[in-house]
Amino acid sequence: MGQGQEAGPESTAALSAEDLCEVFHALSNPARLAIMRWLRDPGSFPPQDRPAEEVGVCLKHIQARAGVSQSTASQYMSVLQRAGLVTSTRIGQWTHYKRNDALLRRLGEQLASGLCAAAQQPRLLT
């Protein structure tokens, strides 16, 4: 979600046009889209000290599956987190990521209902 905007995971508020643009931008990269699909099944990643279903998937496992550097994986996850698509938990030196399924449900509902009034009236650039 945008800077300074924080809708709780159980919020039912419609995503704003700006939030929708940020979400779609985050999902427009094939690697980030693949990561979102992978995070749907955290148990498919290698075992970790704490279960991925509880704390999320460790960045090192996401990095290994994506076949990218640690900095690239971190950048991908930062974009997904800024868009509200994932949440993170820091454990020791590692950050673990989970899909924000509540936001994904809201996004799906908005798409099914024709996006929303906020997205139907975009702000014109001058």
Contact partners, residue 118, CB within 8 Å, separation at least 6: 14, 15, 16, 17
Tokens of 92: 């020791």
Q: Of 2.60.40.10, 3.30.230.30, 3.40.50.300, 1.10.10.10, which CATH number belongs to 17-115?
A: 1.10.10.10
What's the rounded Cα separation, in Å, for the pair 112 and 67? 34
pLDDT score recorded for residue 85 = 97
Give me the residue spans of the domains in the chain.
Answer: 17-115
pLDDT score recorded for residue 120 = 55
pLDDT digits (tens, 9 = 90+) for 35-80: 999 999 999 999 998 999 999 999 999 999 999 999 999 999 999 9
